[in-house]
Structure 1
């Protein structure tokens, strides 16, 4: 797993030491000797993780971190402060500035590499989501960066898994100041609880009695419902090696006892902010996918999706020896609706038409807006006779009740013409089926409209 690591330190010996450690693990290492230089490199998106010293002459590490985390363009880059400062107040100040971790010199090679690898996995996942979400911006959806920068990380839902009463009571009291806390003292029930609870953060003690806390973390990572929920592990100092193992299997962050109140709250906020940001990215990706295959006005699938999915349905029908019906529907005299009542009225008709189509077909049927006032319905495992009954029912539902337009102030009569055919020949081209349905539609319109015409293969 390679990544570009930016080492920021004004002491050349420190830079050389970190550079040697990271290069030995095949990371690409970049260096900066001051905060201004570091910010410029980050602004050019040239690094994946930042190892940041605190004591620098022009701008200290706290200020560099604060600027990175308040800039929508760089807030997602993980920052690890590596410094000789070791007081709890310094560590908390770094975490409050937005640092993902605060390591005190001298840092062991094992701890450093484990943390960098863990954050590299996280950064790569975030980058993949950000890349996919670029489409969301192109289609007008709001990017989550600015809301992520403004997010306080408070108001999260946290599940605390700890079977020591004195421990979980203290931790729950601290966390309850900013979050909603559920405590699960029974580790055998914790995974079920986590899967059902829609939590923003899991906090897991690795010092459970008669239960392996790391196994619980591993199971949470393998379960779909909890795969993306961040995990904050807590352990006694003598279990620090197990914490490093936890980072390898997907633990996001950790704390050693005794727990500092301010540090616990700061690390919880960091993980919750990151969870909300990645969730927003995933939502944007999902929404952009749906928008790419959905007609915005009617909510039906669009022509692009129909052409792709119809080929799959036709292949399945041929392979299984099952019939496949296809109908093309055209709203009669739709241009006159737009001309006489306005395009807003035309849109009202199209929306209501889509609603009535959905009510007239099955869940397995595919309804698409083919273009303008033309629609296509594909009905798997349906012969010509049954499809004709469905088409006639749909025609009556359209003609039988006027359409409300202009917010219900007017009602107009609408009818449709339908051309219907089926895929009967094994391996027949989809284009031929569409052409046959279109020919049947032409006949329906030529014969007076408001009717269904079937054409067998």
Structure 2
């Protein structure tokens, strides 16, 4: 038995259309065309009336005459676009204006389409259907985007909660390892193993704090507590923290700093920035390598370099490595290592918070040089005082 043809209702069937035209005959004609196309229609004789109807009628599309007294259609369109979600409301301009630039004016006012009067019913219906379909897709994409952003935010918050809760058990592990390291009567093998575990726990602690600080910085920025730091005494103390880790990898650390060089910075953030760079140098350099910190005054501040003898970073990756969760594949062949891909992202945050910058260069003949520059005042040291060997007469250089 034949059931007859099946008719499907269009997605725009019954959509609300607002017609804005100061000509009563034009409003009646447009209403008739639209109602034959199965649209609901409301009409306004002026721009002011149209703006009032937006909240009560809530149109899904606006047909807008350009030439109207008091407030023309171009101004009405601009005001609609300024409203919340006004960018998503489809607007088709209608005009009998023959000026050659009127089309360009309509586009600058952010209209979606443009028809010249007299309007033909088939063309008008096709334009409306196409535009409403396009705007509906845009609205769906935006809603999906907003949903994904909400899910991403929830995931990041959950991630931060989990990471934050890891701090307490890790702190207990660190205290226990410190006590074991101080315990007498251990053979050298046991003591080395304890120190390796202790260094790993400290690295994990820095990773956890990096994650928390990056999350906080993306929301409210880093809260800096700046003090004057004398780099001549501060850098050796910093390298002392990495001494055990370097020895376990048969890695040498050295430094070179211009005399009396000072920087105004948040000591803890700067410490963790350089520890991240040193930790990377140890992880990605082969056993027996050397890493060196060099600090020099510049015309407007201080330049600190961390030079390693690792595999280096390909040129096309040098800008990318400071992004979140970016890791360069390949490290020391004799060394298993892990990382979050957040250490360098944290370094960039700290540099920018100090109104400085950080980047990576080649370190011929092998390795990378991470360069940090920060604006600051210096005390009595100037680039021109530097000798031919890269160290001024009062400079400090030492093997750690």
TM-score (norm 2): 0.38
Larger CA Rg, structure 1 vs 2: 2
